[in-house]
Structures are given as C-alpha cells and as structure tokens.
C-alpha cells in the first residue's frame, strides 16, 4: 500500500510540473461514480476507479462538431480482466452518432485489446480490434480522434490505426450533423470483455484505476470553428504517405479483428463501405 501511494504522488508531481493544454476542471464534468472519479494537480490529472459496487465516468462540458481530440491515458495495471475503459465521442438519442475507443482488460501478462467502432444515425457494427505494440499500463500514451467531413482517423501516439471514410455516395450514413461530447468511463463488463466473458473480474484486486492527462481539443462547435484551427492539420482530406505506411504497418501486424473481413458475420457480402 505504501509503495502504491508513493507511486501515485510521484505521478501527481510529474503531472503538476508538465505543461498541459486542457484543464479537467474547466473542460469536463464528473458525471457518475461519486468519489471514484477524481481530479488532481490543479486540473492536470484525472482518475477513474471501478470497484464491485460501481464504476465511474466523466463528460465534456462542450459539444464538438469536427476536429481533433487528444487524450493521454494510463490504463488499469495488473489483472484488469473484465474491465473496460471507454473513451469516445457521442451525441444523444436513438439515432445518435458515436466514435469509440474501448480498452478491454485482460489477466496479468496478457495484452489489452483496443476496440474501435463508428456509429452513424444509431447504427454501429463497424468494429475493428487491435493489440498495442507497447504496454499501455506502464506509461501514458496519446489516443486521438480526427473527425472531419471526409474521414475519421483513430491514432495511437500519432500513428494512425484506422481510417473510416465518408461513403455517403454509396448510401452509407456518416456522422457529420450531430455535435458530440467527449465521454470516458471505467466499468464492469466481465460478461463479455475478456475472452468472451470466460474470465471474470477479480474483485480482490479492486479498486481498478485508470489515469488521464494532457487533454487537447482542436475543434469546431455547432456554431463555428475556433479561429486558431480553421486551417488545422485535422481538416486535411487525406492522410499523408508516411501516415499511410504506418497505418499499413499497424493493420498488418496488430489488427486482430476487422468486420470488413468477417465472412461468417456477412455471408451474403460485406458492407458496402468495405469496398473502398
């Protein structure tokens, strides 16, 4: 316990002396879980915890319509089986839009699964899953979403892992009209999260805790874009050649599921956006 406390206060000290763009007090509300969600260091560090009674979560004060969102996360360490750390953009209602990162926990020594999905007009089912090329529990890593009218790009430490292109010309809905808030939560999903629910959460290891820092948003609201970012990098219609090479590297070596290649799920043919 003493070692864990010392590690936490060292982490807090390091966060306090870092220059962070966002401030959790100013940018987010702790919206569930009571004191399981906490903000430290003058708004520079946030933690979410999960115990057997409840998880916890937060949401952005503002809504966004297009932009780039960056957040650094340090995921639950040790035996995280049965836990899910979700970090996503979402609107509300039955025809909501949503852009998802979900980190599926695992037993000690086994890798996390990074689950991604895109919902448009209430319909999802566009899953891609990846292993990471590092241990996401040892240090903070940056997870980013670029969202513009042409495409959605998921990035890990500035490396693109997935691109979802606007295929409205093919009749595929695309999230472009509904402003979305940023949400994150840490919750119990041991019915399905680890090996299809075969491995349950070990509550003797609770509370499970994830940490957040260095939030940054280069975005538009429903009314207008911040003038600093009207010509932002995120507005590019295509990723560059180097990013395309990195994308291929990730998908060749670390992708473990792609709905666009799941013959059992789509015996009559893949969704039309998969043909792009």
What's the confidence (pLDDT) of residue 220? 76
Catalytic residue among 63, 102, 110, 273: 102
Average pLDDT over residues 17-43: 87
Residue pointed to by tokens 């209430």: 122
Per DSSP, the three-state class of 238 is coil
d(CA 48, CA 46): 7
pLDDT in tens, 2-16: 445 444 444 443 443
Per DSSP, the three-state class of 115 is strand
218 catalytic per annotation: no
pLDDT in tens, 228-260: 445 566 666 688 999 999 999 999 999 999 999
Q: What is the pTM assigned to this prediction?
A: 0.89
Residue pointed to by tokens 């015996």: 267
d(CA 193, CA 113): 9
pLDDT in tens, 188-219: 988 888 888 888 999 999 999 999 999 999 98
127 catalytic per annotation: no
What's the confidence (pLDDT) of residue 18? 38
CA distances from 262 to 22, 125, 201, 256, 258 (A): 40, 12, 29, 11, 7
Catalytic residue among 98, 168, 233, 273: 98
pLDDT in tens, 178-190: 999 999 999 998 8
What's the confidence (pLDDT) of residue 194? 86
Average pLDDT over residues 27-40: 97
pLDDT in tens, 115-141: 999 999 999 999 999 999 999 999 999
Both tokens of residue 161?
A: 């892992």
Torsion of CA 239, 243, 249, 251, to 10 degrees: -30
């Amino acid at each position: 316990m003493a070692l864990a406390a010392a590690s936490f206060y060292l982490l807090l000290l390091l966060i306090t002396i870092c220059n962070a763009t966002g401030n959790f007090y100013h940018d987010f509300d702790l919206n569930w879980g009571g004191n399981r969600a906490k903000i430290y260091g003058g708004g520079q560090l946030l933690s979410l915890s999960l115990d057997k009674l409840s998880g916890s979560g937060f949401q952005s004060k503002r809504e966004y319509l297009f932009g780039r969102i960056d957040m650094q996360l340090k995921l639950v360490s040790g035996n995280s089986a049965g836990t899910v750390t979700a970090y996503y953009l979402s609107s509300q209602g039955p025809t909501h839009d949503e852009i998802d990162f979900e980190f599926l926990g695992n037993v000690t020594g086994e890798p996390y699964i990074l689950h991604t999905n895109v919902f448009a007009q209430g319909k999802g089912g566009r899953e891609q899953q990846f292993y990471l090329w590092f241990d996401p529990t040892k240090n903070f890593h940056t997870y980013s979403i670029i969202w513009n009218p042409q495409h959605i790009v998921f990035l890990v430490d500035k490396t693109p892992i997935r691109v979802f292109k606007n295929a409205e010309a093919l009749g595929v809905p695309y999230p472009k009209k509904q402003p979305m808030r940023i949400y994150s939560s840490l919750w119990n999903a041991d019915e399905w999260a680890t090996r299809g629910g075969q491995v349950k959460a070990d509550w003797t290891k609770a509370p499970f805790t994830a940490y957040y820092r260095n939030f940054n948003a280069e975005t538009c609201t429903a009314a207008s874009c911040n003038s600093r970012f009207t010509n932002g990098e995120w507005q590019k219609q295509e990723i560059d050649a180097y990013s395309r090479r990195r994308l291929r590297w990730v998908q060749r070596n670390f992708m473990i599921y792609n709905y666009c290649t799941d013959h059992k799920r789509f015996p009559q043919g893949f969704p039309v956006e998969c043909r792009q």
